[in-house]
Amino acid sequence: MKKNIKRVLFVLIVVAVGFLVYHQVTKPLVVDTIEVGKKDLVKDFTEDAIITAKNTEAITPECSGEILYIVEVGKKVKEGDLLLKIDDEDDVIDDEKEKIYAKTNGVITAAYAKKGSIANAVTPVLEISGEKGKYAKCSIETSDVSLVKEGNTVTIVESIGDNTKEYKGKVKEILSCASTEISALGLKEQKVSLKIESKAFDSMLIGAKVEVVFETKKIKDTLYVPKTAVYKEEDTHYVWVVKDDKLAKNVVKLGEDFDYDYVVESGLEAGDIIVKDCNNKKLKVDKKIRVN
């Protein structure tokens, strides 16, 4: 009797295991898919830029002496406003020459001295910048210079809190020599300075930072596939195509390589459904799938 019970239990276990195996084998694989289509593909790169005044003037006193008053950095001034007052230590010049007044409207963008320090007649103590006529100054790597031309349209990105606004601008000038700059990682880089113009700069603060996006190539309305969907075996590229809820392996001929996508020359058509991420070892030909 006990032997019969053991046999029945063994058969039940075998049947259960077989059912589980069959269920796992035949169970549809859940995948994310996308529909193949067309869009504009763009190659670009982004650099930081600083809003800079076109017209700046260095303010140098006519005499030496202790600074009794100096206007603060960032203050807007009007023509005729007092910028600097000095106590002439030799007391040999006219009192009015101890004072410097603004010759035009502008913003104080730099101060090289402070109240109580000693100024002299050969060293600038202030910088005043005109508010009208601003440009963005940025630097690009020497390897990118050949991709940018004077007159090219660029996109200006301004950060406002957690949001951004975009404007159009143009490359006004590309300097003809490179200089060495230190990157955020402490590495020396050879870069070339550019001037960017945009009407949007009129409302921005001198010294503010923006991003400049340089578009180097654009292919309009082209068939594409994301790089995550493509894998390579030997010298051939493939994608997983969904047909009748099953997987099929398609050979694709790829064109130009963009940041996140490839141009598709053949092997796919607009409207085909493909697996978004090919990095899944469970993907097999004729495997039943269920779209996530």
Nearest partner of 239 among 18, 33, 22, judged by Cα: 33
> CA-CA distance, 21 to 14, in Å (whole number)?
10
Torsion of CA 38, 43, 47, 50, to 10 degrees: -60
Q: What is the mean pLDDT of residues 240-249?
A: 93
pLDDT attached to residue 182: 84
Per-residue pLDDT tens digits for 54-86 = 999 999 998 888 999 999 999 999 999 999 999
Sequence ranges of the domains in the chain? 27-41+220-291, 44-52+132-219, 56-129
Is residue 132 very low, low, confident or very high in pLDDT (cuts 50, 70, 90)? Answer: confident
pLDDT attached to residue 12: 53
Q: What is the mean pLDDT of residues 133-158?
A: 95
Whole-structure pTM value: 0.73
Per-residue pLDDT tens digits for 160-174 = 889 999 999 999 999
Is residue 22 very low, low, confident or very high in pLDDT (cuts 50, 70, 90)? Answer: very low
Does the structure show a pLDDT above 80 at 89?
no
CA atoms within 13 A on the CB side of 73: 11
For strands 37-53 and 209-226, give the pairing: antiparallel
Q: Which residue has the higher pLDDT, 8 or 160?
A: 160
Which range among 43-47, 119-123, 183-187, 283-287 shows the weakest confidence by mean pLDDT? Answer: 183-187
Is residue 21 very low, low, confident or very high in pLDDT (cuts 50, 70, 90)? Answer: very low
Does the structure show a pLDDT above 60 at 18?
no
pLDDT attached to residue 8: 53
| 219 class by beta-carbon count within 10 Å (0-12 exposed, 13-18 middle, 19+ buried) | middle
Q: Assess if CATH 2.40.30.170 describes domain 44-52+132-219.
A: yes
Does the structure show a pLDDT above 90 at 154?
yes
Is residue 20 very low, low, confident or very high in pLDDT (cuts 50, 70, 90)? Answer: very low
C-alpha angle with apex 282: 278 to 287, nearest 5 degrees?
95
Partners of 126 in beta bridges: 59, 111
Does the structure show a pLDDT above 70 at 13?
no
Q: Assess if CATH 3.30.1330.60 describes domain 56-129.
A: no
Range 27-41+220-291: architecture per CATH = Beta Barrel (2.40)
Main-chain dihedrals φ then ψ at residue 78, nearest 5 degrees: -115, 160
